Structure 1
């Protein structure tokens, strides 16, 4: 099988969020061929280079998302008219109230004198305004028609970058915002807002201008696997549109949710229009995908609210390497009985402030308790947050002349992995009796799974997929509640037998559900199922002239009423054997058929 692996800002680059699990997937499926199509996020990422790739990776094709040179394509009159029509339709869908409920009246609003389709999907509150998450089929079809129309224009004319940056694009967006029935936020958009939205759309639609969709590219793949939503899924949509290649979308972090969290400071018009675009793109990806694989129930709920068909959803937990934590998991006696450990990226969403206040309450009941914070800050915001946490720790736990600790010994230590006391993450987990997670915003809690591999008891806040991952093998408390966090930690610090039981159960659960092996097996099974259900798009032969596997669909999924035919045969006796056997026609050339 030939798989087109679609990535954004990750594999096969050395630096990237999705690099580890993609690399493990490719190496675990050595019997298949992989073509990697990667979108980079920054010049620094490209300068860092690529990973050492296994031999099953046939080719790697990359394209930058962070920059795009003007393609120099000069459109003729007809091409300019087509672009104006397609782009105008795209922006009209983003600005229109069609398919959107009105908060005040609760009734659809007519747009440009036309009746608006009734909303048939659930509604989610986004930044205080209502936005439909299911949407009507009419709006979805209009968005798809405009998107693929732009893709076809880019394919015929040689590029779309210059057109998306043109004054025509900005004027089309302005007309859509000023049209009767447009969203109120869009109608109030100013010129800087229009320029910002137009620039973002040009950035997001850059994959339309790539030359990846011919027979020497994604057109030759048996399956496209997008490792995230958003920009990574867009080439998969075009490969399906142009060549009929089936698409599998994996989202371990829902890109639409990420967009909502990162645009809170944008002006209302920019926030509303960009949310509409990313929502429509996500809905189209879910609609066209053969299967969508969320990494947990939290991501699954987001996808369902964005219009994903429940019948297409298959939860596949991220696969993690349990090997580095095996020694610690098999030696629980290494844990210090009075030490709490926190491991992760230092940023405000992790709410270390609440954890430090909880430690102050814990030490009133257990004075010898210590806390190790192991992690590095992420960017300037994370560095500032780390400095704030250091100052808060010094304020909450001033040096004491008398007491369980000597002068100058603070019970909180801030460390990074790679130092003499913590050369690897497993060493951090090994030193703690209880592992603590204090996040207010969380996706799939990687550090929590690592702690489970190590057989450690955990106390976590109810954020993201924490409850699903823990599954009863640890204590879960509400977020931003230092008192509840402190009580749970004290309960485990005082009960070593309970800690041991919970740790053993957590390790068993993690080894059953969250290993690399289960992740590869689940995705491989979906690969086979998708390809077996898709019609043959080309005839492939090996060196001996025999058809290669997956060149034709599996017989078990051929359409027809096989049960009714069986009953007819049973009534008429062995008449089925009277004629010659029926063989599938695959278009084999005469010479190859004879051979």
Structure 2
């Protein structure tokens, strides 16, 4: 079978949980051919992969959201849109449920739209914004509305304009732009479509937009509704939606995904990979580790504040932040400045490393994200028998405390998002109680060993691919 995985902002450009998940899926299923439809942020990422591509990954289709910068365009062209086409575009911009994705795809794939930037510089686009301004945004400066909507729909139009490789089955790894491409693939080829949602994409974008300085208050709702609109496209079009834990399923149903479509397949790790880790030397130092990318959604700044309080009380603690620092260089510099300004001495940013070389040496693991799915970082730490302090986001609580019918016991502490004092208090409890660390570490290990096996995760997707896509081998 030939399977097209559609990934946004992850594989193969970024290390981390979702990218590792994709890589595992491909490498474990040598019986299938895979294509990656990779949606990246900037053209400068082109060809710069963080992974060695497996031999059964036969193509990487690269699309970048800043490609419009390189298009030639002229102002003022008239596209002679029909009233139905105009109304559908207005529905897209305003987030109306009347949006017909099939007709939108047909329009944007037609010869009328040879150049995305040119349409957004056309009289037709000006007329659409003029209608919106009069109908819904009469008190908003017209120029701001014009450029805000342009920046909002430009990357969507750009991705839709690209050709999609033909495959037996399409599998989007998030909603958003990846979800729309999956919906377009099904519309174009009438092939099965799957969605796996690790975190809730539309909720994550909503959190970012609420906090963002680059979106003015009266446009925040417009942006938020836009991302919910993108997500709804694949909820409707998909044959099956896979999520990783119960709470995500509940949210998807709240957002309009039919419950009968949703199936839970948890992440998994190979326990044997963590059985012979090198322990730390017996030097009376307590080592805290965090397997994490240095990006705002992981809230490294709260982690730093928490450790600052711990360091003030204990002189024998160290924090190792294990993960790439190059994804958001501005944020990384802000974190370094925060460490320096706070006078914190014992934080090490390792950059990208083999985490197994560090895990055995850690006493406590830490995760302070403001949004998560079901973090592989937690599964790796639990497989190494390490207790955790984590924020109450995504599937973290289920991993640490257990879900319905789980009797394995507590594997750490759950703290409120951004509450650095609460996080620090839990870290201190673990630092001061070796027996508690060992008990919680053992509880987490038993939970992962029995409920989050890598073999079960792979078998779940193998069966799903065969049931939805059929067993036929791809023939060109």
- Is residue 114 of structure 2 the alignment partner of residue 159 of structure 1? yes
Give the Å deviation of 1:319: 4.2
Residue 117 (structure 1) aligns with: none
Q: SS of the residue aligned with 1:509?
A: helix
CA distance in 2, matches of 1:469, 1:373: 22
8 Å CA contact 2:13, 2:45 repeated in 1: yes
Q: Is 2:321 the partner of 1:374?
A: yes
How far did residue 467 of structure 1 move?
Answer: 0.6
Give the Å deviation of 1:339: 0.5
Partner of 2:456: 518
1:455 corresponding residue in structure 2: 385
Alignment of 1:436-451 (within 5 A): 436-451=366-381
Cα distance between partner residues in 1 of 2:173 and 2:358: 30
Provide the residue aligned with 1:90 in structure 2: 89
CA RMSD of aligned residues (A): 3.4
**1:53-110 CA distances to partner (integer Å, 9 max, x unpaired)?**
3333343333332213548799998x6223x6424433246437xxxxxxxxxxxxxx
In structure 2, what is the equivalent of residue 243 of structure 1? 189
Residue number in structure 2 paired with 1:230 = 176
Structure 2 unaligned segments of length 5 or more: list them. 403-409
Structure 2 CA distance, aligned partners of 1:510 and 1:272?
40
Residue 282 of structure 1: CA displacement?
A: 0.6
Q: Residues 442, 57 of structure 1: CA spacing in aligned structure 2 closer, same or farther, 3 A cutoff?
A: closer
Q: 2:103 aligns with which of 132, 149, 158?
A: 149
Question: Residues 268 and 379 of structure 2 are in contact (CA less than 8 Å); yes or no, is this contact kept in structure 1?
Answer: no
What is the number of residues matched between the two proteins?
453
The normalised TM-score by structure 1 is 0.67
Answer yes or no: is the 8 Å Cα contact 1:151–1:208 preserved in 2. Answer: yes
Instruction: Check conservation: 2:17, 2:377, Cα contact below 8 A.
Output: no
Match of 2:249 in 1: 300
> In 1, are the aligned partners of 2:364 and 2:386 still within 8 Å (CA)?
yes
Partner residue, 1:435: 365
Give 1:125's aligned residue.
none
SS in structure 2 opposite 1:90? helix
Displacement of 1:26: 1.1
1:467 matches 2:397: yes
Query: Given that residues 175 and 197 in structure 2 are in contact (C-alpha distance below 8 angstroms), is that contact kept between their aligned partners in structure 1?
Result: yes
1:267-314 Cα offsets, whole Å, 9 max, x none, are 134322222222112112111111112234454344233211222222
Which of 199, 210, 215 in structure 1 is aligned with 2:162? 210
The structural deviation recorded for 1:507 is: 1.8
Asked if 2 retains the 8 angstrom alpha-carbon contact of 1:87 and 1:169, the reply is no
Match of 1:257 in 2: 203
Moved more, 312-321 or 165-174: 312-321
- Structure 1 partner of 2:335: 385
* Bigger Cα displacement from structure 2, 148-157 vs 236-245: 148-157
> Any conservation in 2 of the 1:227–1:249 contact (CA below 8 Å)?
yes
TM-score by length of 2: 0.83
Instruction: State the Cα deviation string for residues 476-533 of structure 1 (Å, max 9, x = none).
Output: 233444554444344434443332222122123223444543322222222222235x
- Contact map agreement 2:294 2:331 (CA 8 A) in 1: no
Matched, 1:289 2:245: no
For 1:265-414, what aligned pairs fall within 5 Å after superposition?
265=213, 266-320=215-269, 325-328=274-277, 338-343=285-290, 344-346=292-294, 349-350=299-300, 351-359=302-310, 363=313, 367-375=314-322, 377=325, 378-394=328-344, 410=345, 412-414=346-348
Change (3 A) 1:503 1:76: closer
Separation in 1 of the partners of 2:12 and 2:303?
Answer: 33
Asked which structure has the greater CA Rg, the reply is: 1
Tell me the distance in 2 between the aligned counterparts of 1:324 and 1:518.
16
- Residue pair 1:9, 1:17 contacting (<8 A) in 2 also: no
Question: SS of 2:366's equivalent?
Answer: strand
SS at match of 1:54: coil
Residues in 1 aligned to 2:191 and 2:32: alpha-carbon distance in whole angstroms: 17
Aligned with 1:460: secondary structure?
A: strand
Distance across 2 between alignment mates of 1:63 and 1:479: 34
Matched, 1:200 2:152: yes
CA distance change for structure 1 residues 267 and 489 in 2, over 3 Å: closer, same or farther?
Answer: closer
Is 1:496 matched up with 2:446? no
* Counterpart Cα distance in 2 of 1:451 and 1:35: 31
Give yes or no for the alignment of 1:191 onto 2:125: no
- 8 Å Cα contact 1:347/1:386 also seen in 2: no
**1:225 Cα deviation from its structure 2 partner:** 0.4
Q: What is the SS of the residue equivalent to 1:327?
A: coil
User: 1: CA distance between counterparts of 2:430 and 2:50?
Assistant: 44
Does the C-alpha gap of structure 1 residues 301 and 192 become closer, same or farther in structure 2, counting only changes over 3 Å? same
